[in-house]
Chain A
Amino acid sequence: MVHLPTLTRWFIKSAMLYLMAALLLSIALQPPLRQELPLLATMWPTYLHLLVLGWLTQLIFGVALWLFPKYSPSRPRGDERLSWASFLLLNLGLLLRAVAEPSHALGYPVGALLIVAALAQLLAGWAFVLNTWPRVRER
Chain B
Amino acid sequence: MPRLSVWFVRTALVYLAAGFTLGAALLAAPGLQLGVPAARLLPVHIEFLLSGWMIQLALGVAFWILPRFRVGPERGREDLAWLSYALLNLGVVLAAAGAVVGLPAVLPSIGHAAQAMSAGVFALHAWPRIKVFGA
Q: Are B31 and A121 in contact (CB under 8 A)?
A: no
In the complex, whether A39 has a CB less than 8 A from a CB of chain B is no
**Proximity string of chain A (98-139) to chain B, C-beta cutoff 8 Å, 1 when within and 0 when not:** 000100100000111111011101101110110011001111
Which residues of chain B are near A114, meaning CB under 8 Å? 27-28, 30-31
Are A56 and B20 in contact, with the CB atoms below 8 A?
A: no
* Residues of A in contact, count (CB < 8 Å): 31
Interface size on B, residues (CB 8 A): 25
Q: How far is the CB of A139 from chain B (nearest CB, A)?
A: 6
Q: Does A28 contact B (CB under 8 A)?
A: no
* CB–CB A132/B28 < 8 A: no
Residues of A within 8 A of B19 (CB): 125
**8 A-B Cβ contacts within 8 A?**
A52-B50, A56-B54, A60-B54, A115-B31, A122-B20, A122-B21, A136-B6, A136-B9
CB distance from B12 to the nearest CB of A (A): 9
**Do B31 and A113 touch across chains, with their CB atoms under 8 A apart?**
yes
Contact with A along B29-49 (1 / 0, CB 8 A): 011110000000000000001
In angstroms, how far is the closest chain B Cβ from the Cβ of A17?
20
Q: Provide the bound-state CA to CA distance between A121 and B23, in Å.
A: 9
Q: Given A52-B49, A129-B13, A136-B6, does the pair A112, B27 have CB atoms closer than 8 Å?
A: no
